[in-house]
Amino acid sequence: MKKQLAVMLASIVLLAAKAQTNIAKTQTAVPIEMLFPQGKTKALILSFDDGRAEDRQLVQLMNKYGLVGTFHLNSNKLSTNGYLDKAEIKSLFKGHEVSVHSFNHPSLSRLSKIDIVYEIVEDRKELERLMGYPVRGMAYPFGNTNEQVIDAIKGLGIEYARTVGDTYNFSVPTDFLKWQPTIHLFGKTNYIPNDTANDRKELAQFYKLIDDFINTKELVLLDVWGHSWEMGNTQTKWDETERCFKLLANNSAIYYAKQIELVDYIQAFNNLKFSVEKTMVYNPSAITVFFKKNEKVYSVAGGMTINVTNE
């Protein structure tokens, strides 16, 4: 009788342990989903390359609609014919981000390692002198990169590097030194001279992406890139740009981001410290981070620990 009772008690203890293990597994299996600042599910990046004189009109248009941009500049071309003046860029790009695009705009993948380092360091150094803050990102000239280029820029203070390899989707990048944007501004319109049928198709695809971005309920990043000089002196192109900006502006669901701000935020999310059962989280960064668990939205301020329920 005592033996049977002991077996029964052991079975109860074992079942309880298994149940507790199953509860823990269920709790830890619930995913933690990143949200953008203020708990938003959409983020928008607008980035433009080269620092040509047409940036003046582009910035004026962006400011009109409350949009922020990242501008990748070749500092050795500034103050030359067709480019911005060095003396104006600090005031012109106030509220926006200035980023590296190399000193002279060569194809980096064709250079030796020492010349790659020179192009990035000299550009970064001069842009920091002009802007008065650390410049921490870049766009590859012509979008050209390879493993040698990426290896060369590591350790140079560059925290992201954008290509021109359009994804046509809204994925959040995981490799910041191989950052692929969503789409070129207006897709490939005007790539083929005098091909109005292709232009209409490309423009329709571009606006379909914008519509999908605005209407989706998923976590999405729309990353649009281009050059202000592509609009040139053609008023219809500037009108189209304003139409696009108007569609994207003043949307309470969108986080309007400088590229480096999004990098900092994603890194802060990735560095959150969760307890084993995801019932507590510590944020070691200085940035307030938002996330979702079981459809409930949480925010954890920098330096704080909060409790997270499993309900």
- H or E segment to which residue 293 belongs: strand 289-293
Model pLDDT, residue 13: 44
**Which segments in the chain show pLDDT lower than 50?**
7, 10, 12-25
Model pLDDT, residue 3: 56
CA diameter of the chain: 100
- Put simply, whether the predicted model's pTM sits higher than 0.85 gets the answer yes
The burial class, CB within 10 Å (0-12 / 13-18 / 19+), for 65 is: middle
Model pLDDT, residue 191: 87
Model pLDDT, residue 310: 77
Model pLDDT, residue 12: 44
Using one digit for the tens of pLDDT, what is the confidence trace for 243-269? 999 999 999 999 999 999 999 999 999
Pairing of strands 33-35, 289-293: antiparallel
Give ranges for CATH 3.20.20.370 in the chain: 43-264
C-alpha to C-alpha distances, 196 to 190, 205, 209, 215, nearest whole angstrom: 8, 14, 20, 28
Q: Which two tokens stand for residue 241?
A: 């740009």
Model pLDDT, residue 193: 85
Model pLDDT, residue 309: 87
Provide CATH code, domain 43-264.
3.20.20.370
